[in-house]
Amino acid sequence: MGSHHLFFIILTSLELAKKIIVPGLLLSFYLILSGIERFLVEMIRVNPVIDALNITQAQLVSIMMILAGIILMVTRSKEPLS
């Protein structure tokens, strides 16, 4: 990835952050997207599999990140703005 791609991603993220008015919503987006990315990367990597779940430990952590992001998004969106 070139530096111009990284610069575009940073600028887009800053513009998105300005539009989000609910506290914690940006963190929930990060947790969800980072968890999805990590889960997909771990499908390519060769790591020991947890036999009972048939997934790796890193994939389990990424699933927890996605769930935490969804829970945070749902709980924060229900709170009234102060």
Whether pTM exceeds 0.85: no
Interatomic CA distance for residues 69 and 66, integer angstroms = 5
Domain-located, residue 46: yes
Count of domains forming the chain: 1
Domain-located, residue 12: no
Where do we find the tokens 């048939």?
Answer: 54
Identify the domain containing residue 38 by its residue range.
22-78
Query: Is the distance from CB of 73 to CB of 28 less than 8 angstroms?
Result: yes
Domain-located, residue 15: no
Provide the 3-class DSSP secondary structure of residue 52. Answer: coil
pLDDT 10s per residue in the chain (82 long)? 455 666 667 767 777 767 777 778 878 888 888 898 889 888 888 888 888 989 999 999 999 999 999 999 899 877 665 5
